[in-house]
């Protein structure tokens, strides 16, 4: 049973407190931590937004959000009542001084506790909100700032946001959140690599043939249509989530688990990525956009139909696949294949490490093929780890080989609910632990690598490739990996 340690008293101030992220993720995550008795008695959650609300009406909205987001079995009446009593609402405008005196009055009562400002807003509000936090005297010695993605749409805009925020908050107070880093399996990747002697000697180009990282969604645009049409899959998923996972797979062992030691090693990976630009980008990247098809057994419209009038010329990619290389001693010559998309056949996020084949088989042809070993690290759904091995099939009649997995699913192994990533990250901010958060130079290094790909796509004028909703993306993404004599991993392969 996991040990529950109560965190220090805090005020969590959520700007964008009536928004989708707060309702679907932040409040349910904090409720779960309250359910597990990890919040101190005096903890408060202060929602801030421009909507006309009272604390009473806002508490009712928060209750509705929790009930809509969590299974009925996770709702405990006593815990829910206690949690809602922590909730306070303040009407304030991030672009003007309206309401800020009221917010200051609410916070002034507790200057001695940890104070977290969570900016669940559009990134163009980050600078103005931070300036007002400082000008109204709301920063204390125990203040932290959390920034949600996206941090800009390219390197220049990311730098501008970081500069604006950095005028008011030092880097050691800023927590740039990427919820994928809070997933149990992502952290177990570090434990797997650095707490076991088994893998680390093999974790290099001499023994690993290639690595695949897949983040697939069955959903379409949903409520994110306007944002997604401006961003696309490369900005939305690859620049942050997928490159962060790549860093954890590829980084050198840090000297310790401290935040900067880990982030220093991740930065080295980002700086070692082989640049992709110009004609090369068209050879090693594929971008697609879904057309009408089927998802979860139902007919679904195409991207442009979902987007609405005027979308016929949209070139926003809903799918992207890339082949990339890391130019360093450990990984030279080992390709990394990344793919992500919407309206794919399954909702799955996983890292697949395929080892090199054995140099020589001692077995006869009748024994069957010897399949290279694979390590599959699944982030969702059913978080867990599989190691595919060759063994002898059961029974008499000679040597017959079979490829089978050693399978460890976290829910089955530990017999308890697996905490959501936000549950861990929200309280890591309170603890002052930045290990699972991105540093400014990481974010900018990722944009520095992404920008030439975007520029190459724009310059080529090559349209996005269509794919049918419910398929695994454009056929060109299959060709991308199969021309190297490899294939995308699927669960039954």
Helix (H) / strand (E) element for 451: namely helix 440-460
Strand-pairing partners, residue 180, are none
Give kind and range of the element (H or E) at residue 135: helix 126-135
Residue 283 a catalytic site member: no
Which residues face 392 on adjacent strands?
Answer: 401
Q: Which of 210, 241, 283, 360 is catalytic?
A: 241
The secondary structure of residue 110, as a DSSP letter, is T
The CA-based diameter of the chain, rounded to the nearest angstrom, is: 83
Residue with tokens 């509000």: 125
Distance separating alpha carbons of residues 45 and 89, to the nearest angstrom: 9
Q: For the packed helices 421-431 and 27-35, what is the interaxial angle rounded to 10 degrees?
A: 80
* Structural contact between residues 358 and 371, judged by C-beta atoms closer than 8 angstroms: no
- Cα separation, 336 vs 313, in Å, equals 32
Of the candidates 104, 102, 130, 94, the one whose C-alpha atom is nearest the C-alpha of residue 18 is 94
Contacts of 350 by beta carbon, 8 Å cutoff, 6+ apart: 213, 214, 376, 377, 378, 379, 489
* Radius of gyration for the chain, computed over Cα atoms and rounded to the nearest angstrom: 24
CA distance 406 to 388: 6
322: Cβ–Cβ under 8 A, 6 or more apart, which residues?
238, 276, 284, 285, 286, 337, 338, 339, 453
- Give catalytic residue positions: 241
């Amino acid at each position: 049973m996991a040990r529950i340690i109560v965190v220090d008293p805090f005020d969590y101030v959520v700007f964008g407190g009536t928004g989708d992220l707060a309702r679907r993720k932040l409040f349910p995550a904090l409720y779960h931590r309250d359910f597990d008795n990890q919040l101190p008695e005096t903890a408060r959650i202060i929602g801030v937004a421009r909507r006309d609300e009272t604390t009473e009406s806002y508490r009712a909205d928060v209750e509705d959000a929790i009930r809509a987001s969590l299974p009925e079995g996770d709702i405990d009446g006593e815990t829910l009542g206690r949690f809602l009593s922590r909730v306070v609402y303040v009407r304030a405008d991030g672009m003007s001084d309206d309401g800020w005196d009221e917010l200051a009055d609410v916070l002034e009562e507790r200057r001695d506790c940890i104070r977290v400002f969570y900016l669940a807003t559009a990134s163009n509000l980050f600078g103005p909100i931070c300036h007002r936090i400082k000008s109204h005297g709301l920063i204390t010695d125990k203040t932290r700032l959390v920034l949600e993605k996206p941090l800009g749409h390219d390197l220049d805009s990311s730098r501008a946001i970081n500069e604006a925020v950095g005028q008011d908050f030092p880097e050691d107070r800023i927590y740039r959140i990427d919820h994928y880093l809070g997933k149990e399996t992502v952290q177990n990747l570090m434990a797997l690599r650095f707490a076991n002697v088994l893998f680390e000697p093999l974790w290099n180009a001499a023994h690993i043939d290639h690595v695949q990282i897949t983040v697939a969604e069955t959903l379409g645009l949903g409520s994110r249509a306007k944002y997604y049409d401006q961003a696309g899959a490369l900005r939305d998923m690859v620049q942050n989530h997928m490159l962060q996972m790549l860093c954890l797979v590829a980084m050198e062992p840090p000297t310790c688990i401290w935040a900067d030691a880990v982030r220093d090693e991740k930065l080295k990976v980002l700086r070692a990525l082989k640049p992709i630009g110009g004609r090369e980008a068209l050879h090693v990247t594929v971008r697609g956009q879904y057309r009408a098809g089927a998802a979860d057994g139902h007919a679904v419209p195409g991207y442009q139909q979902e987007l609405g009038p005027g979308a016929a010329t949209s070139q926003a990619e809903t799918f992207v696949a890339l082949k990339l290389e890391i130019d360093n001693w450990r990984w030279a010559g080992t390709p990394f294949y990344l793919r992500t998309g919407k309206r794919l056949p399954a909702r799955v996020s996983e890292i697949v490490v395929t080892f090199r084949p054995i140099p020589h088989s001692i077995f006869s042809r009748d024994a069957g093929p010897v399949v290279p070993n694979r390590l599959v690290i699944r982030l969702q759904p059913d978080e867990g780890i599989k190691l595919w091995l060759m063994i002898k099939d059961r029974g008499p009649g000679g040597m017959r080989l079979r490829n089978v997995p050693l399978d460890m699913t976290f829910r089955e192994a530990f017999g308890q609910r697996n905490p959501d990533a936000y549950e861990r990250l929200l309280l890591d901010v309170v603890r002052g632990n930045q290990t699972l958060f991105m540093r400014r130079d990481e974010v900018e290094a990722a944009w520095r690598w992404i920008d030439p790909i975007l520029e190459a796509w724009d310059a080529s004028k090559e349209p996005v490739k269509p794919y049918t909703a419910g398929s695994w993306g454009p056929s060109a993404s299959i060709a991308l990996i199969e021309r190297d004599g490899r294939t995308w991993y699927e669960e039954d392969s």
